[in-house]
Structure 1
Amino acid sequence: MTELFASAVEVLPMSAVIPDPGSGEAPPVGAGFTTILGWVKWLALAVCVAGLMIAGATMAIQSRRGEGGEHMGRIVMVLTGVIVIAAATSLIGFLVDASATS
């Protein structure tokens, strides 16, 4: 095993330089891509709003029966989804704007 490692070290150049792939520019993003991302964002937020309404209505109906406490977890999950969607769209928007100005 040590002979195999030693022969591999001999073959590899010791002064190997990591290649630079270019100027670091992002690939051009088409208008269609940003349009699709906008649609997906609004669709996802609409689903979250609908989920929040459904969780609220279910909580209101169950509270009349005295069982409304366990629905708070659903509301927290929906609001967490809204935060994740907003963070993702903000990050993508930043990256798309940064690549457009480069």
Structure 2
Amino acid sequence: MNYALPSGVIPNPTPVVPAEAGGLLTVLNWASGIGLVLGVLGVIIVGITMVIQLQRGEGGQSLAKLGWVLLGCIIITGAAGIVRAFV
């Protein structure tokens, strides 16, 4: 038996989520939603901190915190793509 593919055909499998994974997908959706809500809350807290520090004359010390919060939000929203790139 010859199981070789024709030379010009590249297989393109499509991933299928099994029906049993419904509960896991619900947990992942909840975790993603909670993470994004916490990310928005973090941006608001950093913004309030920046206003307080500017009134005290302490400048941009909280800009690094804002960068970390935004990086966390980017990782949360892009988690599926990041994992897909490595799998």
TM-score of the superposition, structure 2-length normalised? 0.68
Q: Aligned ranges for residues 10-21 of structure 1 at < 5 Å?
A: none
2:66 match? 75
Identical amino acids, percent of aligned pairs: 36
Specify every segment of 5 or more residues in structure 2 that has no aligned partner in the other structure, as ranges. 1-14
Q: Aligned ranges for residues 7-86 of structure 1 at < 5 Å?
A: 28=18, 30-86=21-77
Specify every segment of 5 or more residues in structure 1 that has no aligned partner in the other structure, as ranges. 1-24, 95-102
SS of residue matched to 1:69: coil
Per-residue Cα deviation, 1:2-28 (whole angstroms, up to 9, x for no partner): xxxxxxxxxxxxxxxxxxxxxxx7772
**Aligned partners of 1:36, 1:56: CA distance in 2, in Å?**
30
Cα-Cα RMSD: 2.2
Greater helix share, structure number: 1
Structure with greater contact order relative to length (CA < 8 Å, sep ≥ 6): 1
Structure 1 residue runs of 4 or more that deviate by more than 4 Å after TM superposition: none
TM-score of the superposition, structure 1-length normalised? 0.59
SS of residue matched to 1:70: coil
SS of residue matched to 1:30: helix
How many residues get paired? 69
Residue 87 (structure 1) aligned with residue 78 (structure 2):
yes
